[in-house]
Amino acid sequence: MPVRLKSSRALCGLAMAAALLLSSCSAPAQPAADTAPESPAAPAPVDCSVDACVALTFDDGPGKYTDRLLDELAEAQAPGTFFVLGKNVPKFPEALRRMVAEGHEIASHTYDHRDLTKSTREQIEREVSTTNKAIDEAAGVTPRLLRPPYGAHGVVYDRLIPMPLVLWDVDTLDWKTLDAKKTVATALDEVKPGSILLMHDIHESSVQAVPKLASKLKERGYHLVTVSKLFESRELKPSKAYSRLENPGTKLAEH
């Protein structure tokens, strides 16, 4: 390297002697073009209407294990979708900023996990708006999607929610077994192209399940994507509920 520096200085000297206008000689060296590595969780360029995709989703956080989960997802190069509770957001704003920076999707799981089918119109509207506001204040993004607590929904209530409702087709039962191995086994038993897997980042065992689950899914040829990426080729409508990508692509990846 010193040799190159020396010769480039010599080159500049020559140029100036020749009275050429070579403004770069006096300018400090330009920093190298943006060589920052891509975010480790950035999704691969895939088309889920062709490729076999699945979405890992995490509910009820952010919580004390969320940072560890973000570490695991980064290590696995797996983007996730976080259905956060508005009331938890001000406690862990940094986790939300990290989600955005690392290519994950933030979505709403209402403010305080209220059963929307047992709520008034005013309560539902408040659950939606206060959560969106909390997410925006913490991370500067507006969530596109909402997952109703308990998966409880119905046409009358859904009409009051101006966002697509996202459910799941694979319930890992992580909250019930609190066992990483069982969580992985259940997920792998039930997963298929277009699946949405339900997990919870408020349980340590769920976070522990992620490295194995992500690597096994990749071994089987799945692309791990956010929910919005999963449905990229379809139009998600407000007030409509979706539990998996219908007629998904099935082309397996070579990871």
Find the binding residues for Ni ion in span 135-174 (CB under 5 A).
149
Whole-angstrom distance, CA of residue 59 vs CA of residue 203: 10
Q: How far is the CB of 245 from Ni ion (least distance, A)?
A: 21
Using CB positions, name the residue nearest to Ni ion.
59
DSSP 146: B
Whole-angstrom distance, CA of residue 130 vs CA of residue 133: 5
| E strands, 115-240, in order | 165-166, 170-171, 196-200, 223-225
What's CA 89's distance to the chain center, in Å? 16
Q: Two tokens at 183?
A: 């969580």
Residue 35 has a CB neighbour count (10 Å cut-off) of 6
Q: How far is the CB of 77 from Ni ion (least distance, A)?
A: 26
Q: Applying CB under 5 A, what is the total number of residues that bind Ni ion? A: 3
Q: How far is the CB of 192 from Ni ion (least distance, A)?
A: 23
Q: How far is the CB of 124 from Ni ion (least distance, A)?
A: 16
Say whether 255 is catalytic: no
Whole-angstrom distance, CA of residue 233 vs CA of residue 245: 10
60 touches Ni ion (CB under 5 A): yes
Say whether 34 is catalytic: no
51, 59, 72, 158: which one binds Ni ion (CB under 5 A): 59
- Residue 51 vs 174, nearer CB to Ni ion: 174
The catalytic residue among 59, 60, 174, 201 is 59
The catalytic residue among 104, 153, 200, 223 is 200
127 touches Ni ion (CB under 5 A): no
Q: How far is the CB of 141 from Ni ion (least distance, A)?
A: 20
Which candidate, 93, 87, 82, 98, places its Cα nearest to that of 146?
82
Q: Which stretch binds Ni ion (CB under 5 A): 59-67, 115-123, 167-175, 189-197?
A: 59-67
Instruction: Convert 91-143 into a string of H (helix), E (strand) and C (coil).
Output: HCHHHHHHHHHCCCEEEECCCCCCCHHHCCHHHHHHHHHHHHHHHHHHHCCCC
What's CA 234's distance to the chain center, in Å? 18
Q: How far is the CB of 109 from Ni ion (least distance, A)?
A: 6
| E strands, 151-234, in order | 165-166, 170-171, 196-200, 223-225
Q: What are the catalytic residues?
A: 59, 200
Provide the binding-site residues for Ni ion, judged by CB under 5 A. 59-60, 149
